[in-house]
Amino acid sequence: MILPGLHVLTNALIAGILLGGLFAATAVGLSLVFGVMRMINLMHGELLVLGAYLALELRRVAHLDPLLSILVVAPVLFVFGLPVFRFLLEPVMRRGPEPALLTTFGLSIIGQSAFIALFSGDTQTLTASYSSSSWSIGGFHVPVMYVVSFLIGAAVCGALDLLIRRTGLGREIRAGSEDAPAAAALGVNVRRTHLLVFGIAAACAGVGGVLVGATFDFTPTSGMSYLLSGFVVVVLGGLGSVRGTLVGAIVLGVVESLGGAVFGDGYRDFVGFVVFLVVMSMRPQGLFGRRQLA
């Protein structure tokens, strides 16, 4: 194996940092749901893919730019998530974590089948003039969508952090995540808070799905790979931490990008998961430990 030169490694490092913004956008909703409700949402990947397909239809029917379609996709996913949580997930959450886990797994399988029935199993992509272009800065080539994804992913994480720390709803979210019975006794409507959190997480997944669709190809089953990478990001960044999600996503992006530069693009995911397993064996609480939302 011949190691790449310093220029190649530096370019991979820059690309990895920027790719971390995309990983953050795809994982922050997963982190939020777990941090508030201690629920592992296995249908999170299908929410991402749903966002990508909605943007694809808006592109086909209304000729809407993929990035502008975020303004439509995010609210639609928010509304979509409300009845899913209220009628399918909330009733089983009262019986413990296992029924909710199995329910989200079942919804994941149903979602994949529905995508195949509605959109076929063909590989799709959100095409735009900037989706395949790159910028050359100081001799380094950076895909435009990597830069855009980083900015949007960081903005989503920043907005969620401000929401949780600086608003009345955020105080209710923090209270409900730390001790739901005590928060309810003090007048917090925990059911309403959980409902809104799941809707917000679904909207974030929609944003991540659009960015994924504009950056890479996707299929009805692509959600599984982003669900797995989301778990890596959430654990590395600290369970339930919005800020930690962004940091963990950048770590994963750098590891995968450098791994791809050294071993080849076909080993990007492999290197990322190997490093993840090594970290978990040495530091089970993750690189940054378990975090609170507050």
Residue 65: which CATH number?
Answer: 1.10.3470
Per-residue model confidence (pLDDT) at position 7: 80
Q: Mean pLDDT in each 10-residue stretch from start to end of the chain (294 residues)?
A: 78 93 96 92 97 96 95 98 96 90 96 96 91 82 92 96 93 89 89 96 97 95 94 84 90 92 86 83 69 55
Per-residue model confidence (pLDDT) at position 129: 86
Residue 208 included in any domain: yes
Residue 1 included in any domain: no
Per-residue model confidence (pLDDT) at position 291: 55
Residues 6+ away with beta carbon under 8 Å from 270: 259, 263
Per-residue model confidence (pLDDT) at position 292: 57
Per-residue model confidence (pLDDT) at position 1: 59
Residue 289 included in any domain: no
Tokens of 64: 């809407």
- DSSP secondary structure of the chain: -PPPPHHHHHHHHHHHHHHHHHHHHHHHHHHHHHHHH----TTHHHHHHHHHHHHHHHHHHH---TTTTHHHHHHHHHHHHHHIIIIIIHHHHTT-HHHHHHHHHHHHHHHHHHHHHHH-S--B----TTTT-EEEETTEEEEHHHHHHHHHHHHHHHHHHHHHHHSHHHHHHHHHHH-HHHHHHTT--HHHHHHHHHHHHHHHHHHHHHHHHHHS-B-TTTHHHHHHHHHHHHHHH-TT-HHHHHHHHHHHHHHHHHHHHHH-GGGHHHHHHHHHHHHHHH-TT-SS------
Residue 291 included in any domain: no
Number of folded domains in the chain?
1
Per-residue model confidence (pLDDT) at position 107: 97
> Which residues span the domain enclosing 182?
6-282
- Note whether 41 and 102 are within 8 A (CB): no
Contacts 24+ apart (CB under 8 A), 1-8: 1/262, 1/263, 3/262, 4/261, 4/262, 7/139, 7/140, 8/261
Residue 287 included in any domain: no
Residue 288 included in any domain: no
Per-residue model confidence (pLDDT) at position 268: 87
Per-residue model confidence (pLDDT) at position 235: 85
For the entire predicted model, the pTM comes to 0.94
Residue 294 included in any domain: no
Per-residue model confidence (pLDDT) at position 288: 63
Residue 276 included in any domain: yes
